[in-house]
């Protein structure tokens, strides 16, 4: 079989499973967010700060993906929420089958919010629907402000851009306004939050965005159940 038809077949199967996952998330009122970035942008640190700001009443869980090691899961488990590591063994993205398999022994009725931390990569994860309600892309100031133009697919498909590590702005040649402008060239309606997990700047804006999404999701679920 030629490569293109094979890729279409793989993506078609992935989309089928993702649709089933999305239906299950909606049935149980779970808001699922797929967090995507290059390696080292600060996804795990952002999740650490997020989990630290939540309480056990929030009913949150995390699936975190990496090619090797369980380092990220071990960092996140100390906040006492359900966490699982998905080790892909070489695959540069998570797919819907991996999510389905790792959710098998979790009761979705016990969750309100599911974070999926994807493998560090701006290319492959953009092609794979995981059943999420929204994608969130993280871009650190240690990267180029032209990343949205170089990798437009993931910026176009993401609802929120988190510009991370802004405490480093005095020390790196990064034009943050240019990065935001480039992102909105690709996705004019994109929301943007600027964050430093070290100083705490912008974290409340991220938590506010998260809170608004949770409220909107809950209202949508209540409307759908009537």
pLDDT value of position 3: 55
Q: Which residue has the tokens 């919010």?
A: 113
Longest dimension (CA), the chain: 54
Domain boundaries, the chain: 9-225
pLDDT of residue 1: 47
Question: What is the per-residue pLDDT for 21?
Answer: 98
> Which positions ≥6 away from 46 have C-beta within 8 Å?
35, 138, 162, 164, 195, 197, 206
Give the Cα separation of 13 and 125 in Å (integer).
15
- The per-residue pLDDT for 56 is 83
Q: Which pLDDT score is estimated for 147?
A: 97
**Domain 9-225 annotated CATH 3.30.1300.10:** no
**pLDDT number for residue 50:** 98
Closest alpha carbon to 45 in 208, 202, 217: 202
Low-confidence ranges of the chain (pLDDT < 50): 1
Residue 90, pLDDT score: 85
For the stretch 115-137, pLDDT in tens is 999 999 999 999 999 999 999 99
Write down the pLDDT at residue 219.
84
For residue 81, the Cα-to-chain-centroid distance in whole angstroms is 17
Give SS3 for 114: strand
């Amino acid at each position: 079989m030629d490569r293109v038809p094979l890729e279409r077949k793989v993506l078609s199967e992935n989309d089928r499973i993702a649709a089933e996952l999305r239906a299950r998330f909606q049935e149980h009122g779970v808001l699922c967010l797929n967090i995507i970035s290059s390696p080292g942008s600060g996804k795990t640190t952002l999740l650490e700060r997020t989990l630290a700001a939540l309480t056990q009443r929030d009913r949150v869980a995390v699936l975190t993906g990496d090619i090797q090691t369980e380092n990220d899961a071990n960092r996140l488990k100390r906040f006492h929420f359900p966490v699982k590591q998905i080790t892909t063994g070489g695959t540069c993205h998570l797919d819907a089958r991996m999510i389905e398999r790792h959710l098998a022994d979790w009761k979705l009725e016990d969750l309100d919010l599911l974070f999926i931390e994807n493998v560090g990569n701006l290319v492959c994860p953009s092609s794979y629907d995981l059943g999420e309600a929204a994608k969130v892309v993280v871009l650190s100031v240690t990267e180029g402000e032209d990343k949205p133009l170089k990798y437009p697919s993931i910026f176009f498909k993401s609802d929120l851009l988190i510009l991370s590590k802004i405490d480093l702005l005095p020390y790196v040649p990064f034009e943050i306004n240019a990065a935001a402008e480039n992102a909105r060239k690709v996705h004019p309606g994109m929301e943007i939050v600027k964050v430093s997990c070290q100083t705490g700047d912008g974290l409340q804006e991220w938590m506010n965005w998260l809170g608004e999404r949770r409220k909107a999701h809950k209202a949508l679920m209540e409307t759908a159940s009537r």
